[in-house]
Amino acid sequence: MELLGGAGPDQAAAVRIGDRVLSRGELLHWASAVAAEIQGAPAVAVHATASAETVAAVLGGLLAGVPVVPLPPDSGPAERAHILGDSGARLLLAARGAYEPGEEDPPLVPVDALPRDGALAHAEPSPDATALILYTSGTTGPPKGVLISRAAIAAGLDALAEAWAWTAADTVVHGLPLFHVHGLVLGVLGPLRVGSPLVHTVRPHPEAYAAAGGSLYFGVPTVWSRIAADPAAAGALRGARLLVSGSAPLPVPVFERLEARSGHRPIERYGMTETLITVSTRADGERRPGHVGLPLPGVETRLAAEDGAPVAHDGETPGELHVRAPMMFGGYLGRPDATAAAFTPDGWFRTGDIAVIGPDGWHRVVGRASTDLIKSGGYRIGAGEVENALLAHPAVREAAVVGTPHADLGEQVTAYVVADGAGADELIAFVAATLSAHKRPREVRLVESLPRNAMGKVVKSRLG
């Protein structure tokens, strides 16, 4: 995968993160030094802060053909230990002073201490080689490692470049985390592949987006909600070419406010860690509020009922969305049973999302097949992982976690807990100390008991 395909002169600015600017030549030489340092490792973890060190480390892994495991910087000790242990990462790349290694962590490679003059000669790895191992939460148990190949990344980015008319003439702006598909694959590897400069605002604050002066902006619905609520920031984006929203459904009122204040009808798209982006509206096409558009080139979709029967594409009947695509993942690391279960017998990936497809092919995602995957502020949070964290507290006897409506985040993590002598604030802090900060419950409701069916399973639809 030619990561710098379409790149301009070596001295042209490639990446600006906050106040730091790297030219294409500087970034490539620095990444090459990283590649020389990690060559031959089975996998490396990257402390994925919003920094130039993260970009150089990820690119270095890709140049070396070493799978990169982005490590969320806010991950708690239990989550971090699981990711490092499960992935088999033998080195951990971070800036000096930015990461406090634990006793069981792999050796630390200080990325900012490496030279910036690495040799540029690297053998091109196989397209089928794993480029990234991204950890994603399911509905139960700890996060699973999703294997993303170089070929999948190339196919996904090329399809988006075609759909969005994305070229080296664009300047991409976002302030998203660099350990997910949205911020890392689309937001960093996309500009490097297309050749467009990247401005990363460190945090996705409305005033930072307004000051960036870009043409192609990425954000999650929470970001666009905040910008739509800030007339000055929204007005400053009138000169942009495209505003793109993803990672969770964009509420129709936010779409409409954003259009009224910025002059843009935002692009919406749909994808998962396992599939990258598979459905999107187009730069030269219609943009319908509440819809994610049409399948990208090479992507096939269908709807299935609970019994597997086909569901009509009539614009009204919902079904589980199934996908076949060249940007599909290579399986869950060390989880052959989970990988097999994720596909139908005839080879379609079960997304777990419920969608409606119209006669004209337009897709609208209406919810989850399960109630246990929460989309909050662009994050996908597994309820089971939060429940397990709560149940580790000695005072907690029972716990059930659901997503409840939140005006800014879309959904918030809400926990119903049966506990002896523990208060809500104590339990929220307990989870925040164990898991990533965005996974902590924003509300804990202490109850006498949880509703259960005859089989003893909690009936979450009766919580409230």
Give yes or no for a contact between 267 and 243, defined as CB atoms under 8 angstroms apart. Answer: yes
> What domain range includes position 432?
373-462
Measured CA angle at 124 (ends 120, 127), to 5 deg: 145
pLDDT at 2: 60
Kindly tell me the number of DSSP H helices and DSSP E strands found in the chain.
12, 24
Q: Residues with Cβ < 8 Å from 236, sequence gap 6 or more?
A: 209, 210, 211
Query: Taking each helix axis from N to C terminus, what angle separates 424-432 and 383-391, rounded to the nearest 10 degrees?
Result: 110
Query: 445 in a domain, yes or no?
Result: yes
Report pLDDT digits (tens) over 343-373.
999 999 999 988 899 999 999 987 677 666 7
Number of domains in the chain: 1
Least confident of 134-143, 295-304, 382-391: 134-143
pLDDT at 138: 62
The phi and psi torsions of 367 (rounded to 5 degrees) equal: 160, -175
Q: What is the mean pLDDT of residues 404-431?
A: 94
Can you read off the two tokens belonging to residue 298? 């090479």
Read off the pLDDT band of 91 (50, 70, 90): very high
Query: 430 in a domain, yes or no?
Result: yes
Rounded CA-CA distance 425/383 in Å is 19
Query: 421 in a domain, yes or no?
Result: yes
Report pLDDT digits (tens) over 29-62.
999 999 999 999 999 999 999 999 999 999 999 9
Read off the pLDDT band of 459 (50, 70, 90): confident
Query: 420 in a domain, yes or no?
Result: yes
Rounded CA-CA distance 347/205 in Å is 41
Give yes or no for a contact between 319 and 311, defined as CB atoms under 8 angstroms apart. Answer: yes
Give the domain CATH number at 455.
3.30.300.30
Mean pLDDT over the full length of the chain: 92
Read off the pLDDT band of 244 (50, 70, 90): very high
- Tokens 């965005």 found at: 438
Query: 242 in a domain, yes or no?
Result: no
Query: 390 in a domain, yes or no?
Result: yes
Q: Residues with Cβ < 8 Å from 307, sequence gap 6 or more?
A: none
Query: 427 in a domain, yes or no?
Result: yes
Query: 416 in a domain, yes or no?
Result: yes
Report pLDDT digits (tens) over 175-232.
999 999 999 999 999 999 999 999 999 999 999 999 999 999 999 988 998 999 999 9
pLDDT at 323: 98
- Tokens 């992935």 found at: 87
